[in-house]
Amino acid sequence: MTGHVSLVGAGPGDPDLLTLRAVRRLAEADLVLYDALASPEARALAPEARWFYVGKRAGRASTAQETINRLLIREARRGYCVVRLKSGDPFIFGRGGEEAQALAEAGVPFEVIPGVSSALAAPALAGIPLTHRGVSSAFVVVSGHAEAAYAPLLDALPPATATVVVLMGLGARGPIAQRLIVRGWAAGTPSAIVLGAGTPAAWRWVGPLDALAHSVLPAESAGAPGVLVVGEVAALAQFLNPAFATDVATDIATNAATNAAQPFAALTALASRT
């Protein structure tokens, strides 16, 4: 008897943000293949399952994607209910599409259970709305792991026309900030770094774009997933969620205050007209 595979999005880290269907599939699982950023607390949701780590982290030894595909197919063919637990959403920078393709080609039944991507969840938890009437009407999401991944979109994006969200871009925050400034973005554009959103290690930095490269990340958050946000909406963070975990503002207090006041004033003005 052939089993089945559930490609499950684990969300940003807090198990309370798992979907109800994800929780049900974990409870039914015989085997869970999990990523590096999957929450340890999720183990309590699948106490009878075998757990096998197949995570990938930059610069570290990791399980080859072809090996993961073979494991999914083999264990499902043995009749097991397999959960592939992936941080965020399976189809957003998670290679979920490759795994789904491998399963489809092998004739193995599978389903995709969406998760809350950190591209959306991290800014929201930190008090940053990616779109906001009168401030930003669009956003783009890019991977920051390599210049070839983010350069084409950032080079084609007119300055300040959309909120920019960068995943896996902590190490490239300097080159990314410089690239945007060279292409006409104001040096004082509000920007943010959000680390470990949805976890006890949550941390936030807010400041102008030209200070992004010099931001100092906390040692205790080493290895935590991070998201960069560039755009006027980033300045709303300290108004909409002033108590977010550990909050660090830049030393450029005048610029930060000025940039923060502009979108908040726009928010107030718009609210008064509705």
H or E segment and range at residue 151: helix 147-156
Burial class (CB in 10 A: 0-12, 13-18, 19+), 153: middle
Query: Which is nearest to 197 in space by CA: 87, 85, 51?
Result: 87
* Spatial distance between the Cα atoms of 194 and 247, rounded to a whole number of angstroms: 9
* Spatial distance between the Cα atoms of 243 and 81, rounded to a whole number of angstroms: 41
Active site residues: 35, 56
* 115 close to 85: Cβ distance less than 8 angstroms: no
Q: Which amino acid is at 26?
A: L
Query: Which is nearest to 143 in space by CA: 173, 166, 171?
Result: 166
Query: Which is nearest to 54 in space by CA: 80, 76, 36, 74?
Result: 36
* Spatial distance between the Cα atoms of 206 and 34, rounded to a whole number of angstroms: 32
The neighbouring-strand residues paired with 195 are: 203, 226
What is the dihedral sign for C-alpha 88, 5, 49, 71? negative
Task: Kindly write down the DSSP assignment for every residue of 119-143, as one continuous string.
Answer: HHHHHHHTT--SSBTTTBS-EEEEE
3-state helix, strand, coil in the chain (%, to 5): 40, 20, 40
